[in-house]
Structure formats: C-alpha cells, structure tokens
C-alpha cells in the first residue's frame, strides 16, 4: 500500500497547475483504484481501456477523478457484493467520449434530490471554462445495474 501511496503522490505532484494529459490523469486513477482495491479486496474490479493516441489529450484538471470517486463511494462501496468500474475513452464523430461505468447501486438510487452534487457541479464548471458549451456530461443508467457517466469533449479537443 505504501508503494501505491507513493505512486499516487508522484502522479498528483507531476502536473504543477493541476492540468495535464488524459494519460497523466489515468496514471493517477490507476494508483487510486489500486489503493481502493487493497481496501475493498474482491469487492472491486476495475479496468481502464483508452487507446494510446488519446493519452496525450490535454484535459481540464481532475476531470475524471470526481466521477470515479462518486462511482466507488456512492455506487460500489455501499453495495454488499461491490462491483465493477470501467473507464473508457473513444474518439467519435462528435468528439472524444470519456465514460465511467459502474455496476453499483445506480445514480437514481444515490443522487441528491434536485441539483447536481458538488463534484458534478464543479466538473460542469471546469468543462465550461475549457470548452464553453461545446462539452457535455451525460448521466445514464447502466443496465442492469449501476450508472454510466459520459463526458463528451468537442472534436477540436482530440489530438
């Protein structure tokens, strides 16, 4: 665990302004998920599937972290048997789609009534600051269980 904490510290310190590339943020998330897996054991399975050409994509600071953290904290941890978390990225005709999908309790079960959570509100604000109205966040049910959060960046953002 100490090795993973050191990895996490190095990854977070590597980008001085907090921004950087998708590859850098995925490095941080790998270390974070490996630590969580030590704590949750077999209750947490995860996978990151991102093509190499998207690793150099410049993205806003902490873009995926709040989505992954919410998926684990609100979706997977409270579920007795835990579940799976998948992080994917694909270039599509309308832009770059970053997706965090889990098999937890689901967004409708755990979402605050009314407004976005603070994490989602901050995420939307960071996207607006970087891309204006050209980026969007889409939250859907992951059938048969869990949630899928897609962050769609404009096609001009692709490397």
Was domain 2-157 assigned CATH 3.30.565.10? yes
pLDDT on residue 104: 94
pLDDT on residue 107: 77
Q: Tens of pLDDT along the chain (159 residues)?
A: 667 666 666 555 555 455 589 999 998 899 889 989 988 999 999 999 999 999 999 999 889 988 999 999 999 999 999 999 999 999 999 999 999 999 999 876 555 555 557 778 889 998 999 999 999 999 999 999 999 999 999 988 765
What are the Cα distances from residue 19, in Å, to 16, 22, 90, 153?
7, 9, 20, 15
Sheet holding 147-154, edge to edge: 44-49, 83-92, 95-102, 147-154, 136-141
Question: CB neighbours (10 Å) of residue 149?
Answer: 23
pLDDT on residue 13: 53
pLDDT on residue 158: 63
Question: CB neighbours (10 Å) of residue 112?
Answer: 10
Please state the pTM of the whole predicted model.
0.86
Q: φ, ψ for residue 143 (rounded to 5)?
A: -80, 130
């Amino acid at each position: 665990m100490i090795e993973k904490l050191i990895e996490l510290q190095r990854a977070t310190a590597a980008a001085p302004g907090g921004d950087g590339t998708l590859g850098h943020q995925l490095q941080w998330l790998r270390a974070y998920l490996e630590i969580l897996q030590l704590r949750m054991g077999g209750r947490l399975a995860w996978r990151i599937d991102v093509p190499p050409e998207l690793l150099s994509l410049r993205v806003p600071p902490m873009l995926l972290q709040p989505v992954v953290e919410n998926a684990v904290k609100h979706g997977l941890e409270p579920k007795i048997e835990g579940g799976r978390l998948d992080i994917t990225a694909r270039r599509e005709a309308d832009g770059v789609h970053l997706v965090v999908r889990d098999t937890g309790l689901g967004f409708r079960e755990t979402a605050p009534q009314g407004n976005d959570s603070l994490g989602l509100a901050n995420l939307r604000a960071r996207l607006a600051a970087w891309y204006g109205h050209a980026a969007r966040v889409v939250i859907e049910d992951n059938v048969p269980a869990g949630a899928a959060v897609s962050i769609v960046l404009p096609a001009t953002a692709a490397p």
